[in-house]
Structure 1
Amino acid sequence: MNTPAPVAASTAGALPDVSHHPRTQRLFLVLATFFVANALLAEFIGVKIFALEDTLGIDPLRWNLFGESGSLNFTAGTLLWPIVFVMTDVVNEFFGKRGVRFISWLAAALIVYGFVFAYVAIALAPAAWWVGVATGQGVPDYQAAFAAVFGQGLWTIAGSLVAFMIGQLIDVGVFHRIRAATGERMVWLRATGSTAVSQLVDSFVVLYIAFVLGPQQWPTSLFLAVGSLNYVYKMAAAIALIPLLYLVRRAITGWLGADTAKALREHAARD
C-alpha cells in the first residue's frame, strides 16, 4: 500500500519543508496543467454565444436592466471559467500567492501563444478540395468558418487577457486577506469573497476593452446590463461549486497526508 512520504523534520519550531516533497511537486504540476488547459479552452470556445433559456428548454426570461432587455446569452467560455475559479482557490490554498501568480502568467503566455498560431494557421493557403469538404454539413466555405471561429478579434483577445490577469491578481490578494482574518476556518468565505471582488472587475473590464473601446462602441446602458448579467452568472456558478472546492481540498489532503497538507497550507498562508 502506498503511504505518503514523511515531511522533513522541522527545527526550532519552524514549519517543515514540504517544497521538495514528491507528491507536492506532482500536485502542483497537475493543478497548473489543469488550470492552464481550462483557461486556454475557455478562450477558444468563448467565440460561441449560447442562449441559456433555449439550452434549458424554458421560456426566455426577458431581463430588463439599465433600459436594455433580452434573453440570457453567454459565451461558451462561461462553462469553464467557474472551474478556473475553483482551481485558483485550490492553488491559493496550498501554494499561496506565488503559485497563483506563476500559473496565471503561464496561462496568459500560452493563450497568446495559442492565438498567434491560430492566426498563422488561418493565413496558410487552404487546399482547394478542403474548402468545400463540409458543404454537405452546411458549411460551404471551410476556410471562412475556420477563420471566423479561431480568428477572434484583437480587441476581444486583449480585453480577455487584461481582465483575466487583473482578476487573478485581485483574487489572490483578497483571498489571503480573508485567510489572514479567518485562519483555517470558513474556506467558503475566502473562496467566494475573493471571487466576488475579482469577478466584479473582470466582468466589466473585458467588456469595456472588447466592446466599448473596440470597434463595436457599445453604449453605456448595454455595457452595464451585459456586465451585470455576466457577474451574476459567475457568482451563481462560484456559489454552486463550493461543494466541489471542499471535495478537491479533502481529496488533496487525503492524497498528500494530513501532516504534509497542513504544512503546505501553512506555508501558503505565510507566502
Structure 2
Amino acid sequence: MRVQQRRELAFLILAGLFLGTMGMLNILGLTRFLYLGSIGSIPLIVAVGALPYPITFLCTDLISEIWGESKASQLVWVGFIVNCWIILILWLGGVSPGLDGFGASQGLPVITSSTPLPIFYEIRRLAFGSAGASMVAYLVAQFVDVRLFHYWKQFTKGKAMWLRNNGSTLVSQLVDTTTVVIISHFATHVLPIEETEPLLPQLLTYIYSGYLFKLLIALADTIPFILLTRWMRCWLEIPGIGAEIPMDN
C-alpha cells in the first residue's frame, strides 16, 4: 500500500510540473524575448515562455521510463486539453464586458479608438499569437519525443539511458523550435521582425538560437535524468533494468 502511494505521488508531481509548465508557456509565451549571451557568433535569444519548457521533456522521459509509453502519451493529450482550456478562458476574458469599458455592455463607458487597451489584451494578443504555433509544435514534438524514447529503449534493451534521453529530446526540440518559429511568423505575425532586414536570416536566428538553448538544457539534464531514474526505481520498488510500472498500478 505504501509503495502504491509513493507511485501515485511521484506521478502527480511529474504530471503537475509538466502541466504547470505548459500553462506558463501559453500565458507568458512571447511577452518578452531574452538575450542570454552568445556562443561564438550565435546569440542566445529565447522567449520567456520557453525558459521552463525543456523541463517538460524531462518529465515525459521520466514517465516514459517508469510508467511506459502509454502513460506518457496520455499525459501529452491532457496537456493539449489544458492548453485549449487556457485559450478558452483568454477568449472569454476578452469578449466579456469589463469595468474598464471593454466589451459590449449597457451602462459601461464608450471606448474610443484613442483609448489604450488594458494589459490583459496585449497578453491575450501575444498568447493567441503563440498558442496555435505552440499547440501544433507541442503535439508533434512531444509525441516524437515519446516515440523515439521508446525506440531507443527497445533498441538498447533498456540500457544506455543517456542515449534515449538525449536522442529523443534533441530531435523533438528541433522539431518544436522550427515549428513554433515558422507558424508564429507566417500565421500570426507576432515575432519581432525587422521589416527592413532580410527575413530568412532573422527566422534562422530564432530557430538556431532557440534550439541551441534547448540543446544545452537537454544535455545538462542527462545526469539528473539518470540519477532520478535510479533513485525512483529504488524508491518506487521497480526491479530490473528497463522495467515499467504496470498500467493498473
Deviation by residue 1:80-137 (Cα, 9 ceiling, x = unmatched): 11111110110110122211111111111111101211222233333359xxxxxxxx
CA distance in 1, matches of 2:39, 2:242: 48
Deviates more, 1:38-47 or 1:169-178: 38-47
Q: Which residue of the partner structure matches residue 156 of structure 2?
A: 182
1:154-199 Cα distance to aligned partner (Å, 9 max, x none): 4421111000100011111111111112123221111111011111
Larger mean CA deviation between 155-164 and 218-227 belongs to 218-227
**AA in 2 matched with 1:165:** L
- State the match for 1:97 in structure 2: 69
**Unpaired runs of at least 5, structure 2:** 102-114, 194-198
Unaligned ranges ≥5, structure 1: 6-20, 54-59, 66-70, 130-140
Assess, with a 3 A threshold, how the Cα gap between structure 1 residues 98 and 109 changes in structure 2: closer, same or farther: same
Alignment of 1:6-17 (within 5 A): none
- Does the Cα contact within 8 Å between 1:50 and 1:75 map onto a contact in 2? yes
Query: 1:62 and 1:238 mapped to 2: Cα distance?
Result: 16
Residue 224 of structure 2 corresponds to 244
State the alpha-carbon separation in 2 of the partners of residues 235 and 83 from structure 1. Answer: 12
Residue 13 of structure 2 corresponds to residue 33 of structure 1: no
Distance 1:213 1:149, change over 3 A: closer
Q: CA deviation at 1:244?
A: 2.0
Question: Sequence identity, in percent?
Answer: 23
CA distance in 2, matches of 1:191, 1:180: 13
- How far the C-alpha of 1:258 sits from its partner, in A, is 4.1
SS of the residue 2:68 aligns to: helix
Count of paired positions: 228
Cα distance in 2 for residues equivalent to 1:245 and 1:175: 13
Please say if residues 35 and 44 of structure 2, whose CA atoms lie closer than 8 Å, have aligned partners that are also in contact: yes
Q: Structure 1-normalised TM-score?
A: 0.73
Task: Please provide the CA RMSD for this pair.
Answer: 2.9
Match of 2:210 in 1: 230
Q: Deviations over 1:20-68 (max 9, x none)?
A: x444334333322221111111221223324334xxxxxx649757xxx
TM-score where L is the length of structure 2 = 0.79
Q: How does 1:166-181 map to 2 (within 5 A)?
A: 166-181=140-155
